[in-house]
Amino acid sequence: MGSAQAVSDHKATTAVSASTPTLTTDQLMANAASLVPTLSKRASQTEDLRKLPNETMDELYAAGLLRIITPKRYGGLEMDWPALPEAARIIARGCASTAWIVAVVGGHSGIVGRFPKELQDEIFAKGPNQLFVTGSAQTTGKLVKANGGVIANGIWRFASGCDHADWVMVNGDVLADDGSKTGRAVRATVPASQVEILDTWHVAGMKGTGSKDLNFNNVFVPERMLVDGPGSFQANPPGAAVNPDCYLYDVAFGAYFSSWLLGPVLGAAEGAYEAYRESTTSRVSAMMPNSPAQLHTVQERIAESYCELEAARALYDKHNQFLHQRGLARRNIKPDEFIDSGRERTYIARLCHNLVHRLVRQMGAIGIYDSNPVQRFYRDLNVMQNQVALNWDVHMLNFGRRQFGLPTGMERLDSPPPERTPWGALNGKAR
């Protein structure tokens, strides 16, 4: 067990003011690409640590990769949607765990950008280079109503990046003293120093994300640090008027929140393909007279994997552009479009998993070693595929049912709440 307070002093050296120079998209992607060789060499160390090394965090901050959708008013880059998954895709070619921190955890600053101005001002007072971690699975965690706020107790799980966190966000229903629901659901934000980290992240893949459990022990969360949980993800949240120029702080956020993991997924598949091609080109078999690269079965299978990789890239680009264009128009994603998005996300992940599975099987005995980068990418893809946003049964069944005019069985899709109009659509910001 440990405390988030134990984060090393390297955090203080990377915090900057709102005058931080901005970057173009091309510069950001070049920064990401420049880190790939180092991250690849450091990938085994990252796995062993079960968190990102401090030097990796320093490099990500210096490259601007953890403020991609941080509001510009606080020193962030405030880029449109495609930049976040695309930067993570590039990073994942070296280390999928690092890419996860860039996209999934780095993206949480965009959630903060949807909060009320006073809360944003308080959170970003120390500058844009901060990490916002979420405990995404509420297990024993409870938020009980108290005078002037709530008291948090219990455990929230899967807090990726928590060893480097500045702030922790958790969701939950507000309970009365007797445990009954009050009818209010909130997102609570607290300094990471107030939360205990439980060292539970002993897993099969994505080890470097450090997605440990968070334990709250009578942590008082004042009212100013609470926001309406569902409302913060709906269109026109309080932050829309505060940060009016970027649609990510305005339109309904669910489809974007569910899709930022596609960058790490596709990048891991690309990294695996390149690692396999390079190693197989020069490899000499210890058991057979020919090098593997001369075998027609190897040649056929790499060709098939390449085709799947190209298909995944095409769907990935299509999906990103769909979200981007809807955002520019300040249009919410409709329920049927959300179902389409889930189908595409899931199929992209299936293509990536299949192509890497084929390659790692083709490697024979050397493919079973943890030190083999293709094996590492394969383990990482197996774990990423377990995310609910990529669950094959859920998303394919939803799409199939809708194709036949049947309800999905999910209330939020079959009987969605009244749609809120994005702030930008009401104030001439649509493009």
Q: What is the CATH number of the domain that holds 306?
A: 1.20.140.10
The DSSP result for 363-379, as a single string, is TGGGGG-TT-HHHHHHH
pLDDT cut 90: percent of the chain above it: 88
> What pLDDT was estimated at residue 226?
98
Residue 397 lies in a domain: yes
Neighbours of 257 (CB within 10 A): 16
Is 321 part of any domain? yes
Last residue of a domain, one of 126, 154, 180: 126
On whether both 264 and 405 belong to a single domain, the answer is yes
Alpha-carbon distances, residue 250 vs 18, 115, 124, 239, 327 (angstroms): 22, 11, 19, 7, 9
- Residues 207 and 315 reside in one and the same domain: no
Helix (H) or strand (E) holding 43: helix 25-49
Q: What would the mean pLDDT of 150-175 be, rounded to a whole number?
A: 98
How far, in Å, CA of 105 to CA of 4, rounded? 16
Angle subtended by helix axes 335-362 and 296-328, to nearest 10:
160
Mean per-residue pLDDT of the chain: 93
- Alpha-carbon span 125 to 2, nearest angstrom: 26
Domain membership of residue 248 (yes or no) is no
pLDDT digits 0-9 by tens, 388-407: 999 999 999 999 999 999 99
The predicted pLDDT at position 4 comes to 43
Alpha-carbon span 168 to 166, nearest angstrom = 7
Assess whether pLDDT exceeds 50 at residue 13. no
Token pair of 336 as six digits: 């049927």
Cα dihedral 142, 414, 258, 27 sign: negative
Q: What is the largest CA-CA distance in the chain?
A: 77
pLDDT band at 291 (very low <50, low <70, confident <90, very high): confident
CA distance 424 to 422: 5
Q: Which of the two residues, 295 and 161, has the higher pLDDT score?
A: 161
In a domain, 21, yes or no: yes
Hey, is 61 helix, strand or coil?
Answer: helix
Domain of residue 59 covers 2-126
Are residues 117 and 145 located together in one domain of the fold? no
Q: Does any domain span residue 431?
A: no
Question: How many residues comprise the chain?
Answer: 431
- pLDDT band for position 286 (cuts 50, 70, 90): low
Q: Residues 306, 390: one domain?
A: yes
Same domain, 106 and 166: no
CA distance 204 to 246: 38
Tell me, yes or no, whether 329 lies in a domain: yes
Is residue 121 domain-shared with residue 158, that is, in the same domain? no
Residue 137 sits in the same domain as residue 87: no
- DSSP-derived 3-state class of residue 336: helix
Predicted confidence (pLDDT) at residue 53 exceeds the cutoff of 60: yes
Q: Please name the residue ranges forming H helices in 259-331.
A: 262-282, 296-328
What does the pLDDT average to over 311-334? 98
Tokens of 297: 């079965």
- In terms of Cβ atoms closer than 10 Å to its own Cβ (0-12, 13-18, 19+), residue 300 is exposed
Q: CA 304, 308, 314, 320: dihedral to nearest 10 degrees? A: -160
341 pLDDT more than 70: yes
Residues 392 and 290 in one domain: yes
Phi, psi of 200 (to 5 degrees): -110, -5
Claim to verify: residue 112 and residue 146 sit in the same structural domain? no
pLDDT-derived band at 18, boundaries 50, 70, 90: very low
**pLDDT tens digits for range 85-132:** 999 999 999 999 999 999 999 999 999 999 999 999 999 999 999 999
Per-residue pLDDT band at 288 (split at 50, 70, 90): low
Is the pLDDT at 14 greater than 90, yes or no? Answer: no
Domain containing residue 195: CATH number:
2.40.110.10
Picking from 80, 97, 85, 84, the residue whose alpha carbon sits closest to that of residue 164 is 97
Does pTM top 0.85 for this prediction?
A: yes
Is 249 part of a structural domain of the chain?
no
The reply to whether 274 and 422 lie within a common domain is: yes
- The pLDDT confidence band at residue 366, using thresholds 50, 70 and 90, is confident
Interior angle at CA 417, CA 411 and CA 418, nearest 5: 155
Question: Per-residue pLDDT for 51 more than 90?
Answer: yes
Check whether residue 259 and residue 203 sit in a common domain: no
- Structural domain ending residue among the three candidates 243, 273, 298: 243
The total number of structural domains that make up the chain: 3
Residue 379 domain flag: yes
Shared-domain flag, residues 150 and 59? no
User: What distance in Å separates the CA atoms of residue 218 and residue 106, rounded to the nearest whole number?
Assistant: 28
What residues have CB less than 8 Å from 390, skipping those under 6 apart? 261, 265, 345, 346, 349, 384
Give pLDDT tens digits for 127-154: 999 999 999 899 999 999 999 999 999 9
Looking at 91, 126, 161, the residue that finishes a domain is 126
What is the predicted pLDDT for the residue at 282? 81
- Domain CATH code at residue 29: 1.10.540.10
